[in-house]
Amino acid sequence: MNHLTPHIDAFGEEAVLVGESARAFFASSDIKSIRERLGRIPSYRPPVWRQMVEMGWAGWRADAAAQGSALSFEAGLLLHEELGAAAAPEPLLQTAVL
């Protein structure tokens, strides 16, 4: 499902590790439970979101002074690709652009 796989050699080690971590993290995502949450408030899964925050993904573009992870654009790209592949409803993109 990873559409960027043919280009993976163009990414740095950090980006590849983030992508692999995200793929493993979302591997157990249950699409049925995600669909059941649609229309609810919050629509995301708080325990999953908490884990993502603990992994440093919520502030992936912010630097350390702003309590972020300062990940590269490429790492964020692979992270968001896995988020989309899992149809995960967590608000990761919103935290990156605020």
pLDDT average per 10 residues of sequence, the chain (98 residues)? 60 92 91 84 91 91 85 92 92 76
36 domain-assigned = yes
Q: What is the pTM of this model?
A: 0.81
38 domain-assigned = yes
62 domain-assigned = no
Residue 39: which domain range?
Answer: 5-52+73-90
96 domain-assigned = no
25 domain-assigned = yes
40 domain-assigned = yes
Number of structural domains in the chain: 1
The distance from CA 2 to its chain's CA centroid, rounded to whole angstroms, is 14
Cβ-based neighbours of 78, under 8 Å, separated by 6 or more: 4, 11, 15, 16, 18, 19, 22
